[in-house]
Amino acid sequence: MVIEEPAVRALYAMAVVLAVGVATVLWRNREKTGAQSLAVTTIGGACWAGALFLSTLEPEALAVFAIQLMYAPVGVTIAAGVVFALEFTGRERYVTRTTLAVLAVHPVVVTVVALTNPGGIFFAGLDPTAAIGVEQRWNVGFWIHSAYGYLLTSAVILLIVEHLVRSKRTLYRGQAAGLALGIASGLFFNGLYLGGVVTFDTTAIGFILLAAFFAVSIVRYQFSNLSPIAHEKIIDNVRDGIVVVDTDDTIVEGNPAASRLFGVNTSLIGRSVYDLFAAQPDLIATYELLTDSVTESRREIVYGDRHIAVDVTPITDDRGRHVGWLFLLADVTAQIQRERDLKRQVDRLDQFAEIVSHDLRNPITIARGYTEQTKATGDLEWLEETEEALDRMDAIIDDVLALTRSGGVTDPEELSLARIVTDAWGTVDTQGARLEITDPAEKIQIVADEDSCRRLFENLIRNSIQHGVDDDHPVTSHTVTIDVAAESGGTVTIIVADNGVGIPPEDRTVIFDDGYTTGGTGLGLTIVEGIVTAHDWMIDVSESETGGVAFEISGVAKPLSSE
């Protein structure tokens, strides 16, 4: 098949256009690691193809000059390719002034020698009357230049292939494969021409393929938005979330743990931070605060029902340029809960110490006084007062033990509300009062720790009977009613109400405080609140429909089977 000069000229022009297009995209992203040197490499290729295009035009002097000048971008392309390979594979520490100076020697020397051709050392002849372009006959200088160029270009390909092999990510393997194939294609088609297989310089075909492979790396594998260096700074298989964000607020790396933390089923890579947190402006504000300066920082955020500790570290390349941020995300929800539990335990110990030092001291003093009185008089009637003091101490100790145990939910299970209430009723001295469980409450199943839940109802029932009766509200007409209301999704509200004297509005905000009492130890409702809190429920107090007191316990979980 005979190829005409117009077709070759069109081929060269196409190579220029494609190379310039890819170089433009890369140059727009020149702040990214490796993008600037790759852009220079591609621009050099465009100039190389442009010189070949000019060699097919008139006048002959222009064609010859274009061929001689062509070796300047050839040298630049080779040098820039080496710099790119070092940057792309994470070896930026080798890109020093000395390295750049050494790499610059070849483009300068080959440009001068090709233009001046002293003693015919580079060209043995240039014939502008050839069928296609300018026919070149080379001498030893050219072959030294070619050997040097092939050696460096092969080294570039090997560096990229080595990175491809050791990379764990498909994304980076795709990048490396596309880039290596692009560079290798230019080498292959140039070799066809130098080997005399074809009669015109086919290097431009290699440039077309190079541009195509580079375009795939840019569009498909987002080379212009991703830096393999970021991947070198993170560990794939860790329990904590790891996210790398570039200076354009785009997530360029994210491990599976990070996706799970944010409830994302797909990869985070390529997403904008602003898109990810679009529905949570408070998190966007936190992100902007953390990235406002190039310094390490730490902060705790709340995402849904999770507490996440965020450590932020700026990422710089080997030349000290800031290229993004590394976010380490640790789910500290369990730790926060443990701290809260520990605080509750410390608070209960403080309560215990206060009760032992204060509340028990009084009945002990009374018991000791009546005992001394009995010894002095021999009157055993004083022992009745002593016994009452001892009974009070016994009640205080029981309540302190109950308070200590109220802060933990060790074994939540499916329970019948009616059965738990009935069991609790049977352990309290009800003094003739009446229990009424409404029909809805009879049918409700809840999820709770059985022992602590029974203790909760024991205390509410005991509180109702001990403090809800007076002369106008005798115990024989006292009724404790258990009802349910406000069922919503997987929770229900339990109402414990009576028809007693009620609680004054001004006292309803303090009834759960330690020591609040109108008789007794003052710990009964504190125990109730501890059990409610341990279950993550809520409790409120109001007036019942019959004028007594009504305790509303909301957020009580129901079994999934009852949904």
Ordered structural domains, the chain, with CATH = 5-228 (1.20.1070.10), 233-331 (3.30.450.20), 333-405 (1.10.287), 411-563 (3.30.565.10)
Number of residues that make up the chain = 563
pLDDT on residue 215: 60
Structure tokens at 387: 């016994």
Give dist(CA 454, CA 225) in Å, integer.
60
Give dist(CA 501, CA 495) in Å, integer.
17
Q: How far is CA 400 from the centre of its chain?
A: 43
pLDDT on residue 225: 45
Which CA distances in Å does 8 have to 185, 202, 273? 18, 9, 48
pLDDT on residue 100: 92
> pLDDT by residue for the chain (563 residues), tens digit each?
445 678 888 888 888 888 888 888 878 777 766 778 888 888 888 888 888 889 888 898 999 999 999 999 989 988 988 888 888 777 878 888 999 999 999 999 999 999 999 999 999 999 888 878 888 899 999 999 999 989 998 888 888 788 777 665 555 566 667 777 777 887 888 888 888 888 788 877 776 676 666 666 655 555 544 444 445 444 556 678 888 898 888 888 888 888 888 888 877 888 888 988 888 888 888 888 888 888 888 888 888 778 888 899 998 865 677 888 898 888 888 888 888 878 877 776 776 666 566 556 767 887 888 888 888 888 888 888 888 778 767 766 766 666 565 555 667 889 999 999 998 898 788 888 999 999 999 999 999 888 788 888 988 998 888 888 888 888 888 999 999 987 777 889 999 999 988 888 887 776 776 544 544 445 667 778 888 888 889 999 989 998 899 999 998 988 866 55
Side chain identity at 230, as an amino acid letter?
A
Which CA distances in Å does 135 have to 34, 44, 150? 36, 22, 21
Ramachandran class of 515: left when φ > 0, alpha when ψ lies in -120 to 50, beta otherwise: left
pLDDT on residue 118: 93
Give dist(CA 231, CA 167) in Å, integer.
9
Which CA distances in Å does 34 have to 26, 98, 152, 163, 227? 9, 19, 17, 14, 8
Which CA distances in Å does 317 have to 162, 311, 380? 20, 19, 91
Under DSSP, is residue 502 helix (H, G, I), strand (E, B) or coil?
coil
Side chain identity at 71, as an amino acid letter?
Y
Q: How far is CA 423 from the centre of its chain?
A: 48
Contacts of 239 (CB under 8 A, 6+ apart): 257
What distance, in Å, lies between the first and last C-alpha atoms of the chain? 78
Q: Which residue has the tokens 């074994």?
A: 411
188 and 206 in contact (C-beta within 8 Å)?
A: yes
Give the residues across from 49 on adjacent strands: none
Contacts of 447 (CB under 8 A, 6+ apart): 412, 413, 414, 415, 556, 557, 558, 559
Whether the model pTM is above 0.75: no
Q: Which residue has the tokens 């209430």?
A: 421
Transcribe 161-183 into DSSP letters: HHHHHH---HHHHHHHHHHHHHH
Give dist(CA 518, CA 502) in Å, integer.
12
Under DSSP, is residue 74 helix (H, G, I), strand (E, B) or coil?
helix
